[in-house]
Amino acid sequence: MKLEAESPLGLSISAFASGLLFALGLGLGGMTDANTVLGFLNLAGDWNPSLAFVMLGAIAVYAPAYRLYAKLHRNEQAPWQSSMCNVPTHTHIDRQLLVGAAIFGVGWGLGGFCPGPALVSVVTGAVPVMVFIAAMALGMYAFRRFAAKGL
């Protein structure tokens, strides 16, 4: 069976494969263990550098893929799973970006999770994971409410 570029089945298989690869990478890299993440963030104490290697591995995978994607965009070619390239053009550092980054960092430091590893860890049913997911969902809801009001 041939999958067309934007067929629902093709997109579903591609999304599932990407998500599975992402989840496996997070799990194998130790990013689903909040103690490992907190050890990495603890620069003044017993620092655990292992996640630096996870980040370097992610950069090694992402950098060539992004270069290919940018080349497709420059040559006005469509990627396999879409009819067009969507390369971000917003490069201005504004208040909204800084506040969002600060909230992300505080949440990561307090909980030991960021959204990807937390979603992968939800299968454990651990209370800290569920609390983090609930807080993240509440934050997303609050952002949508405030953004809708222009705040």
Whether 3 and 49 share a structural domain = yes
Q: What is the Cα–Cα distance from 80 to 71, expressed in whole angstroms? A: 13
Q: How many CB atoms lie within 10 A of CB 129?
A: 22
Whether 72 and 7 share a structural domain = yes
Alpha helical stretches, state H, 30-126: 34-41, 50-74, 95-111, 115-121
User: What is the structure's pLDDT at 151?
Assistant: 60
User: What is the structure's pLDDT at 6?
Assistant: 54
Whether 61 and 7 share a structural domain = yes
Whether 77 and 99 share a structural domain = no
Q: What is the Cα–Cα distance from 72 to 81, expressed in whole angstroms? A: 13
Whether 15 and 40 share a structural domain = yes
**Domain final residue, candidates 41, 73, 89:** 89
Number of independent structural domains in the chain: 2
Look up the domain containing 111 and give its range.
Answer: 92-151
Residue pLDDT tens, the chain, 151 long: 444 555 666 668 878 888 888 888 888 888 888 888 888 888 898 888 988 888 898 899 889 988 887 787 777 777 666 776 677 778 899 998 898 899 888 888 888 888 888 888 898 899 989 999 999 899 889 988 888 777 6
**Angle at which helices 34-41 and 95-111 pack, to 10 degrees?**
120
